Amino acid sequence: MTATAMTQAPKETLNAFEIAQQQFANAADILNLNEGVRKKLRTPERCLTVAIPTRMDDGRLEVFTGHRVQHNTTRGPAKGGIRYHPNVTLDEVKALASWMTWKCATVGIPYGGAKGGITCDPKSMSLGELERMTRRFASEISCIIGPEKDIPAPDVYTNAQTMAWIMDTYSMNQGYAVPGVVTGKPLALGGSLGRNEATAQGCVYVVEEAAKKLNMNLKDSTAVIQGYGNAGSIAARLLHDQGVRIIAVSDSKGGIRNTRGLDPRKVLEFKDKSASVVGFPETEAITNEEILTLKCDVLVPAALENCITLKNAAQVNARIVAEAANGPTTPGADEILFERNILVLPDILANAGGVTVSYFEWVQNVQELYWEIDDVNSRLKRIMTRSFNDVYQIYKDKKINMRKAAYVLAVGRVAEAFKLRGLFP
């Protein structure tokens, strides 16, 4: 471990909101923002915490806790997903909301950041219980969401069906259909072609641009995917289709490795049947910790926060780390990877494809005019390619890591918008 890492080690924190605040402060220092602007941009505008009484299948009443945080709406309506997970906390949701602000600004779409979550174990709940909980949550937060105010989307353990329930609940209270209140909906309710693949597709577009900068031929490269949910499994498939050899993947139960390469489609079929990638034929079992340190060209963390830390950053053995997950790398680990010349494609850039196509979906809902898949993907590629090059130019000019470069771009854009709008009253 480097001397820098050793001096940072005692200071590292794994609290998501503290990490988000530190990342913001780093950019604010580089931009030389005054303290008043800093206070405005780092403070969430609204934090709504609600009780969610839900009738369970056995007749008992359970009360869950839900949150919706709107971090910043200076550049447009708040935008961000809703996650269902046992570890959801208000601090986590605040961090995710702030990351959404910077993510939208990084790729230049006219949204601010929001996030929502319910502290629950969705894996232990029936479809009926999930629907009743979702509808009550939608009702409780309906006072602050809407197509012009705050547009939720799917996140961890939520999906298109979840969005359909929220859209229906909101619409019934309005008295007419309001498809634009959420994105990530089923196509039959105004969803967009390409939305399901968008996070992974955007990540792969950014990886392609990064590979060009490193003179790396993707067809001769290897990749490791940590997390085999929607983003991870689709990223594996898209990379595989370009000739990249997928040598290891994992999910919450563990990982598998085959240095000769894995067929991502067959792995997904196996997981759908057995509920895990573990046990896939002709593979070696590895842990989620081990998978992060395998030698590869492209490492895609596509699980949860705080996977790459001071404890393992020195062992990461990839040329590119493409963050399909939110917050997988801690600030201390970032510095170690930067010192080791590992190119990190930060979450607010690498996984911004999801919110970008969510923006496309919202535009289609508002216009009541729907696009073909080629239109969606060509627009997405244009935005992701431009955004990567904007961030990469700052990275080269200022000689800072890619995350700081992305934050400098994003925070600068939001700060400019705030200064132009001024303060009311």
Q: Is the peptide bond before 147 cis (omega within 30 degrees of 0)?
A: no
Task: Tell me which residue has tokens 């070696």.
Answer: 284
3: confidence class by pLDDT, cuts 50, 70, 90:
very low
361-414: pLDDT as tens digits: 999 999 999 999 999 999 999 999 999 999 999 999 999 999 999 999 999 999
Residue 415 lies in a domain: no
371-383: pLDDT as tens digits: 999 999 999 999 9
Same domain, 120 and 246: no
158-217: pLDDT as tens digits: 999 999 999 999 999 999 999 999 999 999 999 999 999 999 999 999 999 999 999 999
130-146: pLDDT as tens digits: 999 999 999 999 999 99
Same domain, 220 and 330: yes
- Checking if the pLDDT of 92 tops 70, the result is yes
36-67: pLDDT as tens digits: 999 999 999 999 999 999 999 999 999 999 99
Residue 60: CB partners within 8 Å, gap ≥ 6? none
pLDDT of residue 316: 97
CA nearest to 236, candidates 212, 253, 255:
255
Same domain, 165 and 248: no
pLDDT of residue 61: 98
| Cα 193 to chain centroid, rounded | 19
pLDDT of residue 18: 87
Residue 356 lies in a domain: no
Instruction: Read off the tokens for 329.
Output: 């790398």
Give CA–CA dist 382/368, Å, rounded. Answer: 23
Residue 5 lies in a domain: no
pLDDT of residue 217: 95
CATH number at residue 202: 3.40.50.720
Same domain, 205 and 175: no
Residue 332 lies in a domain: yes
3-state secondary structure of 381: helix
Residue 372 lies in a domain: no
CA nearest to 354, candidates 236, 248, 205, 221:
205
Indicate yes or no: pTM above 0.85. yes
pLDDT of residue 6: 38
User: Final residue of a domain: which of 150, 168, 189?
Assistant: 189
Mean pLDDT value across residues 274-286: 95
Same domain, 202 and 157: no
Q: Residue 381's beta-bridge partner residues?
A: none
CATH number at residue 158: 3.40.50.10860
Crossing angle, helix 90-106 and helix 402-421, to 10 degrees?
80
Q: Which residue type is seen at 332? A: G
Catalytic residue status for 219: no
Same domain, 184 and 214: no
Residue 27 lies in a domain: no
> Is the C-alpha dihedral spanning 396, 398, 404, 408 positive or negative?
negative
The DSSP result for 342-371, as a single string, is -EEE-HHHHTTHHHHHHHHHHHHHHHT---
Rg, the chain, Cα only: 21
Q: Which of 115, 185, 271, 404 is catalytic?
A: 115
8-43: pLDDT as tens digits: 444 565 688 888 899 999 999 999 999 999 999 999
- Checking if the pLDDT of 1 tops 80, the result is no
Q: Which residue type is seen at 84? A: Y
User: Final residue of a domain: which of 168, 189, 210?
Assistant: 189
Task: Tell me which residue has tokens 């997970």.
Answer: 85
3-state secondary structure of 106: helix
Sheet holding 61-72, edge to edge: 46-55, 61-72, 112-119, 78-85, 150-154
Burial 144-161 (b: 16+ CB within 10 A, else e): ebebeebbbbbbbbbebe
Same domain, 131 and 179: yes
pLDDT of residue 305: 81
Same domain, 153 and 185: yes
**421 phi and psi angles, rounded to 5 deg:** -75, -35
Residue 380 lies in a domain: no
Contact 313, 336 (CB under 8 A): yes
Same domain, 219 and 328: yes
Burial class (CB in 10 A: 0-12, 13-18, 19+), 422: exposed
Residue 127: CB partners within 8 Å, gap ≥ 6? none
Average pLDDT for the chain:
94
Please state whether beta strands 254-257 and 245-251 pair in parallel, antiparallel, or not at all (unpaired). antiparallel
Residue 191: CB partners within 8 Å, gap ≥ 6? 160, 183, 184, 185, 361
Residue 13 lies in a domain: no
Q: Residue 63's beta-bridge partner residues?
A: 53
Contact 289, 260 (CB under 8 A): no
Give CA–CA dist 52/286, Å, rounded. Answer: 39
User: Final residue of a domain: which of 144, 163, 189?
Assistant: 189
pLDDT of residue 69: 98
Note down the domain range covering 123.
45-189
Same domain, 217 and 286: yes
pLDDT of residue 354: 94
Number of domains in the chain: 2
Same domain, 122 and 215: no
Contact 213, 290 (CB under 8 A): no
Same domain, 204 and 345: yes
Give CA–CA dist 118/86, Å, rounded. Answer: 8
